[in-house]
Homo-oligomer: A and B are copies of this chain.
Amino acid sequence: MTITRNSIVHEGPGGLFESMVVTDSAASAPRPGVLLFPNVLGTKEADFAYAEKVAALGYAVLVADVYGQGKRTTRADPDAARYMAELNADRALLRDRLLASHALLKGLDAVDGARTATIGFCFGGKCVLDLARAGADIAGGVSFHGVYDAPPFPNAAIRAKLLICHGWDDPIAPPEATVALAQELTAAGCDWQLHAYGRTGHAFTDESVNMPDKGLAYNADADRRSFRAMVGFLEEALGH
């Protein structure tokens, strides 16, 4: 196995984007594809490293840029959420970028376009949900500490199975938001699951975050459990 990273610049709704393909370049045939949506900061080393773990499971991964080439922030940035805020303010544009990312994944040489799924973290969890809400033909989606508010327009029919991995103490998604998401997905006829982790806040997969007083912190148990759940879920969704 030879996991490699290849940066690709591609056109999309509103400009140029720079995403990363992470896959086993020694694989002899196309593999099921996984679209990975980053958190609020945009694509970065932590996403590429997570993508390598997913690629090692036998998938071709596209770490999708939905902000635009060069548009990245860090936790130290005083306005770290500015690119996310732009897309939160225009959910139709977000939807179009998500669909374009999915089309890009499906067209990659390394990918069996008939078998795709998506995963995402924080804002990327919202991306997973919004791609499913847009009716994309993805077999499955996994949201890790996502954001649950629905777009201000009706959903298409949801075709993806969904797994919501959730820290119960996440201040961004209190119980009423979680219950509302459950009701929305049920009404949409979706095959959904919620894995909620007690005494766990937002960002539980992110080793760089340690602000428990704000409800944001890495949690090794929830990270390990949600990774394991994702492995089983992708196997089921992608028949891999």
Contact = CB atoms under 8 A, between A and B. Distances in A.
A198 B132 CA distance: 15
Interface of A: 168-169, 175, 179, 182, 185-186, 189-199, 221, 225, 228-229, 232
Copies assembled: 2
A72 to B, nearest CB: 33
Given A194-B194, A194-B195, A232 B221 contact: no
A185 B196 CA distance: 12
20 contacts: A168-B186, A168-B194, A175-B182, A179-B179, A182-B198, A185-B198, A190-B198, A190-B199, A191-B198, A191-B199, A192-B197, A192-B198, A193-B196, A193-B197, A193-B225, A194-B195, A194-B198, A195-B195, A196-B196, A228-B232
Given A182-B198, A192-B198, A194-B196, 8 more contacts: A168-B182, A169-B186, A175-B182, A190-B198, A193-B198, A194-B194, A195-B195, A229-B229
A195 B198 contact: no
Nearest to A169: B186
Contacts of A168: 182, 186, 194
